[in-house]
Amino acid sequence: MKVKTRKRFVVSLIISLVCVAILLFVEQIGGLAFLEQKTFDMRVQYREGQKTGHEDIVIVLIDEASLESMNPLVGRWPWPRTLYAELNLFLAEQGVKAVLYDILFTEPQIPRDENGELGPDDIDLVTSSMEMGHAIHAVQLLHEPMRDPRDSVLGRQLPELFVERFSLKANGSAELFESGNNNYYLPLAELYENTAGIGVVEFLPDNDGVFRRTKLIRTYQGRMFPVLSLAALIHQQPENEISITDNSINWGQTLIPLQDNGDFLINPKNEFRTLSIGGVFATIQQIDQGNFEDLIIDPDMFRDKIVLVGASAVGVEDLKPTPYGPNFPGVFLHASIISNVLENDFIAKPPLFVEIIVSVLIAFLIAWIITSDIKIWFKSTIPLVITFSYVLIAYYLFSSFQVWLAIVFPVIGGMLSVYAASFIYMAFTEGSERLKTKRMFSQYLSPSVLSEVMESKSLTAEIGETKQLTILFSDIRGFTSISESLESGKVVEMLNYYLHEMVELVFKYKGTLDKFIGDAVMAFWGAPIAMKNHARQSVSCALEMIDQLKVINQHFKTNDFPEIKIGVGLNTGPVIVGNIGSTKRLDYTVIGDNVNLASRIEGLTKKYGCSILITESAHEMLDETFVCRTIDRVRVKGKTEPAMIYEPLTNPDTNVEERRLFERIAQLTNKGFNAYLNKDWAVAEDAYQQVLEVNKNDSVAGIFIKRIREFKSESPPESWDGCYVYTSK
């Protein structure tokens, strides 16, 4: 080995080992845990084909819609327990495998009588749980601080019958699951005496407050008890002996891998067969009344299924931060664990020594490249390619094989080596060249755009390219008049609040904020990050903008500002996207005919009294989960070709009752417009009249009824194609 090569090898090795050693220390004291956990969350969110839970799992949710629909019938939450008894009997009739309650029944619904007997609703719950034979109820085993040594509540003995019935008879030590529990909350004694099983329901978050793992077995005074999900799985194979090792739980043909500390890494799912409990109760009522046709929910969907009953409503307080977001129903975590076991779909995390080896290799490779004599462009690019490639590999392993390969430790370790070697090298030979390059780029790229383009390892965006995008314009109606009635400071305060809320929604749906045009917002989807569903994302954003307007107007009302209305227009089509501006200032923006059309469509919202209008090209990219109605065939100012415009009425998340109302409006409107195009005035007018019967304030129906009556008195020319021409913006 030549002296120069040997020296380069030694320098590269020292740099890599020192950087990795520093990072290893930081890793061991938990300094990188937060970042690594966030990369885990991102991988969970953006993986493909791994979000749907097992088909044998059905979740019955106590959601906002249920609370609202049940309130007139049974009053406010918590509900009478006879409802859960009815649910038990109904599910038992359908032949479910198990019913898991992520709800604590620790106290009687009403105080016991003088003989200590339960009230009738509690008795119904106990009886139904006993008779169905598959009900599994919730228990909590807690660790609470001992403020007073004389406190008799903490450290209580569990009831002997409870321990005898539900503690796990397992081979193996309980030390792996020791958690220092010293208090408990059990179901009613009559309930745990007669139910098929119990499961511990509390989860412990990571240090950033997000729930990613749990211990599947909890201990209390040396006895082991399963969490709710594990209880359901064991319930399916009660005859099999449970065996616990340092890294797994086994029974029958089932093996659940554990980490060295006994934690189980949850492979979270956010798509299950989910039903609103209000719909289930409505179905039960239909059956009780002898109505077996047009049932809201098909009872057969429960057959041979594991049913989890939990809450997603905010007021029920069982929403948890997970990798999917801050408000995730806790019952989905239990369902995810069950799904993981049923599908043998586990996350594996390699041991620390693998991370160390990978980190040293990346750091050494990058240091070796930077200390070489290759061109500066390669020195700048290759380390980024290596790092990026490693991240892609880590993402691929997670997405395809559920292997959680650390990113932060190896990448930061490698990048530190890059910057350390770069600093040493450039301080003597390359500093002036890098400064020259930076000055050259700064003449035509803003810092933010330059940073984004360099991270993507491409500098082609500034020359412009044609892409299929969706463009959104939103505008406050009559804002000029509003601003003239307020002091300038108030106008700015009002506008800043509104624009902040709108921009947050654009970012939420992964849009790119183009610019503010006075009180108008311009945004687009599909660049610089390509997305196949950009129309869906933008329409979802527009619908939430209209919903968020209620919150904004409530804020304005509280602060003595006038309420506002907005119009939103969207168009999908090819546009030119790139960095456009002067040599000193560039903006990443879109231009072209389709941008102008989107602006014109926004202007039409005032004409039709609609909050949102979209073009046919955007409408074609939406699926049937969006309810839209046809509005008109128009020719806007500056255009020769007519354009169909539509109004999105609701997104896929709308509740069933509201969705049916919008579907009815859309059906009638579409029928009326088709008849209108065919000059069938009677049918068209009748359809639009029916729209007004559903919604008396429907401005679109009013507009067309007026047009139809005019055409009845004076027919349009033979060449009429149904197109309405606008000569102004």
Q: What is the mean pLDDT of residues 441-463?
A: 42
The mean predicted confidence, pLDDT, of the chain is 84
State which of 622, 637, 655 marks the end of a domain: 622
pLDDT at 445 (0 to 100): 32
* Residue 545 one-letter amino acid: M
CB-CB neighbours of 418 under 10 Å: 24
pLDDT at 69 (0 to 100): 86
pLDDT at 430 (0 to 100): 45
Q: What is the mean pLDDT of residues 30-47?
A: 86
Q: What is the mean pLDDT of residues 53-66?
A: 92
Distance from the Cα of residue 182 to its chain's centroid: 36
- 426 domain-assigned: yes
Same domain, yes or no: 230 and 167: yes
- 460 domain-assigned: no
Burial of 433 (0-12, 13-18, 19+ CB in 10 A): exposed
The pLDDT of residue 293 is above 90: no
Burial of 469 (0-12, 13-18, 19+ CB in 10 A): buried
Burial of 723 (0-12, 13-18, 19+ CB in 10 A): middle
In terms of DSSP bridges, do strands 520-525 and 512-517 run parallel, antiparallel, or are they unpaired? antiparallel
pTM over 0.75, yes/no: no
Q: Which helix (H) or strand (E) holds 578?
A: strand 566-581
Question: Residue 321 carries which DSSP code?
Answer: E
Q: Give the 3-state secondary structure of residue 113.
A: coil
| Residues 19/363, Cβ–Cβ less than 8 Å | yes
Same domain, yes or no: 12 and 74: no
Same domain, yes or no: 10 and 96: no
Q: Which residues contact 559 (CB under 8 A, 6 or more apart)?
A: none
Q: Which residues contact 582 (CB under 8 A, 6 or more apart)?
A: none
Q: What is the mean pLDDT of residues 148-170?
A: 78
For the chain, the domain total comes to 4
pLDDT at 644 (0 to 100): 93
Q: Which pLDDT band holds residue 36 (cuts at 50, 70, 90)?
A: confident
Same domain, yes or no: 76 and 194: yes
Cα torsion at 656, 662, 666, 668 (round to 10°)? 100
pLDDT in tens, 74-114: 888 888 999 999 999 999 999 999 999 999 999 999 998 88
Q: Which residues contact 371 (CB under 8 A, 6 or more apart)?
A: 8, 11, 12, 421, 425
Q: Which pLDDT band holds residue 461 (cuts at 50, 70, 90)?
A: very low
Same domain, yes or no: 191 and 287: yes
pLDDT at 438 (0 to 100): 42
Distance CA 567, CA 609 (A): 9
The pLDDT of residue 672 is above 80: yes
| Residues 669/700, Cβ–Cβ less than 8 Å | yes
Q: What is the mean pLDDT of residues 661-673?
A: 93
* Residue 412 one-letter amino acid: I
Same domain, yes or no: 9 and 57: no
The pLDDT of residue 54 is above 50: yes
Select the highest-mean-pLDDT range: 253-267, 462-476, 533-547. 533-547
| Residues 191/125, Cβ–Cβ less than 8 Å | yes
- 729 domain-assigned: no
Strand partners, 59: 274, 308
Q: Which pLDDT band holds residue 432 (cuts at 50, 70, 90)?
A: very low
pLDDT in tens, 376-390: 677 677 877 888 888
pLDDT at 443 (0 to 100): 34
Same domain, yes or no: 188 and 262: yes
Same domain, yes or no: 39 and 60: no
Q: Which pLDDT band holds residue 229 (cuts at 50, 70, 90)?
A: very high
Say how many residues make up the chain: 729
Q: Which pLDDT band holds residue 439 (cuts at 50, 70, 90)?
A: very low
| Residues 579/449, Cβ–Cβ less than 8 Å | yes
Distance CA 161, CA 90 (A): 29
Burial of 228 (0-12, 13-18, 19+ CB in 10 A): buried
- 201 domain-assigned: yes
Strands (E), 334-383: none
Share of the chain above pLDDT 90, in %: 43
Structure tokens at 467: 């892409």
pLDDT in tens, 314-339: 767 678 899 988 888 889 999 999 99
Same domain, yes or no: 172 and 84: yes
Distance in angstroms between the alpha carbons of the first and the last residue of the chain: 76
- 728 domain-assigned: no
- 453 domain-assigned: no
Distance CA 19, CA 9 (A): 15
Q: Which pLDDT band holds residue 729 (cuts at 50, 70, 90)?
A: low
| Residues 514/590, Cβ–Cβ less than 8 Å | yes
Same domain, yes or no: 500 and 413: no
Lowest mean pLDDT among 83-92, 224-233, 604-613, 630-639: 630-639
Structure tokens at 16: 């890599």
Q: Which helix (H) or strand (E) holds 61?
A: strand 57-62
Question: Residue 125 carries which DSSP code?
Answer: H
In the Cβ-directed half-sphere of 83, how many Cα atoms lie within 13 Å?
Answer: 20
Can you say whether residue 142 is alpha, beta or left, with left for phi > 0 and alpha for psi between -120 and 50 degrees?
beta
C-alpha to C-alpha distances, 206 to 30, 33, 36, 291, 406, nearest whole angstrom: 11, 9, 12, 49, 16
Distance CA 201, CA 701 (A): 53
- 448 domain-assigned: no
The pLDDT of residue 485 is above 50: yes
CB-CB neighbours of 159 under 10 Å: 14
Give the residue with greater pLDDT, 62 vs 640.
Answer: 62
Q: Which domain holds residue 682?
A: 647-719
pLDDT at 423 (0 to 100): 63
In the Cβ-directed half-sphere of 180, how many Cα atoms lie within 13 Å?
Answer: 5
Task: Give the residue carrying structure tokens 């020259």.
Answer: 436
State which of 588, 622, 656 marks the end of a domain: 622
Same domain, yes or no: 709 and 601: no
Same domain, yes or no: 182 and 278: yes
pLDDT at 433 (0 to 100): 41
pLDDT at 724 (0 to 100): 86
Q: Give the 3-state secondary structure of residue 409.
A: helix
Q: Which pLDDT band holds residue 203 (cuts at 50, 70, 90)?
A: confident
Distance CA 403, CA 267 (A): 11
pLDDT at 260 (0 to 100): 81
Lowest mean pLDDT among 148-162, 339-353, 520-534, 628-642: 148-162
State which of 342, 358, 376 marks the end of a domain: 342
Distance CA 183, CA 669 (A): 61
Q: Which helix (H) or strand (E) holds 254?
A: strand 254-257
Q: Which pLDDT band holds residue 362 (cuts at 50, 70, 90)?
A: confident
Give the residue with greater pLDDT, 447 vs 490.
Answer: 490
pLDDT in tens, 558-609: 998 999 999 999 999 999 987 777 766 667 788 999 999 999 999 999 999 9
Smallest Cα–Cα separation from 537: which of 455, 648, 446, 611?
648
The pLDDT of residue 117 is above 50: yes
Give the residue with greater pLDDT, 588 vs 209.
Answer: 209
The pLDDT of residue 691 is above 80: yes
Distance CA 274, CA 296 (A): 14
Share of the chain above pLDDT 70, in %: 88
pLDDT at 463 (0 to 100): 55
Smallest Cα–Cα separation from 309: which of 648, 59, 56, 522?
59
Question: Residue 137 carries which DSSP code?
Answer: E
Q: What is the mean pLDDT of residues 24-36?
A: 80
For residue 582, what is the domain's CATH number?
A: 3.30.70.1230
- 307 domain-assigned: yes
In terms of DSSP bridges, do strands 612-615 and 566-581 run parallel, antiparallel, or are they unpaired? parallel
